[in-house]
Chain A
Amino acid sequence: DARVTQTPRHKVTEMGQEVTMRCQPILGHNTVFWYRQTMMQGLELLAYFRNRAPLDDSGMPKDRFSAEMPDATLATLKIQPSEPRDSAVYFCASGLVPGGNQPQHFGDGTRLSIL
């Protein structure tokens, strides 16, 4: 089965450090989504891309977060500088459009802890 691959699976770092999370979408998928999951806020959409172009990043704190797709096989989410409140599980999902009835496919996430 094709899968969305996220690296690293776990990351522990100190406040102020730069964090980069990577996502390899399913081959052929042309939309990529970044979500954050916490106990308090649940599942939040941070940003999404179509054909590598950012469509909406309104859910993302602009001052410290950035999302890019350098090529069709790689999406990155960066936090600089990181803060303890950024501790969460970050998920990447990919999908295919047109075809709004197609599901998004999720990776297994990056569990981020900022000390």
Chain B
Amino acid sequence: AQSVAQPEDQVNVAEGNPLTVKCTYSVSGNPYLFWYVQYPNRGLQFLLKYITGDNLVKGSYGFEAEFNKSQTSFHLKKPSALVSDSALYFCAVRPVGTGGGNKLTFGTGTQLKVEL
């Protein structure tokens, strides 16, 4: 069975500084990896995904994520944080090739707080 670990419950960063939200995964075979963001009183919103190919994936709102197969990690990054980036971030994984639908396994979420 697959799993996702987000080791930090909360990440604090100053506006304008780079941010990193960490994610490691465990899956049999190759993974599809996703990042979602949740703003207060809203559903999860898709940010970006890794399928295959380039290990650096670019997504919405200036976010990017780096896939590292040897470290089984998929960390979310942004070069310059904004106060409006403050939200709850979820990493998710799905094994490539499994049938039955696109069921995802989610991490527990990391609260990002960007301060002035």
Residues of A within 8 A of B104 (CB): 104
Also in contact, A48 and B103, with CB within 8 A (given A42-B108, A43-B109, A100-B32): yes
A48 touches B109 (CB 8 A): no
Also in contact, A50 and B32, with CB within 8 A (given A42-B108, A42-B109, A106-B45): no
Residues of A within 8 A of B45 (CB): 106
Bound CA span A101–B46, Å: 12
* Chain A residues numbered 58-115 whose CB sits less than 8 Å from any CB in chain B: 91, 93, 95-97, 99-109, 111
B106 touches A43 (CB 8 A): yes
B43 touches A106 (CB 8 A): yes
B46 touches A55 (CB 8 A): no
Q: List the count of A-B residue pairs having beta carbons below 8 Å apart.
A: 63
B102 CB contact (under 8 Å) in A91, A95, A107, A109: A95
- How far does the Cβ of B93 sit from chain A's closest Cβ, in whole Å? 11
Does chain A have a CB within 8 A of B41? Answer: yes
B94 touches A100 (CB 8 A): yes
B102 touches A97 (CB 8 A): yes
- How far does the Cβ of B89 sit from chain A's closest Cβ, in whole Å? 12
Also in contact, A48 and B101, with CB within 8 A (given A42-B108, A91-B44, A106-B43): yes
A45 CB contact (under 8 Å) in B42, B103, B109: B103
Can you name 11 A-B residue pairings with CB atoms under 8 Å? A43-B90, A43-B106, A55-B103, A91-B44, A95-B101, A95-B102, A99-B102, A103-B34, A103-B49, A106-B43, A107-B43
Which B residues have a C-beta under 8 Å from some C-beta of A? 32, 34, 36, 41-46, 49, 51, 90, 94, 96-98, 100-104, 106, 108-109
Which A residues have a C-beta under 8 Å from some C-beta of B? 4, 31, 33, 42-43, 45, 48, 50, 55-56, 91, 93, 95-97, 99-109, 111
Given contacts A101-B49, A101-B51, A106-B45, 14 further A-B contacts (CB under 8 A): A31-B101, A42-B108, A43-B90, A43-B106, A43-B109, A55-B101, A55-B103, A56-B100, A103-B34, A103-B36, A103-B46, A106-B44, A107-B43, A108-B41
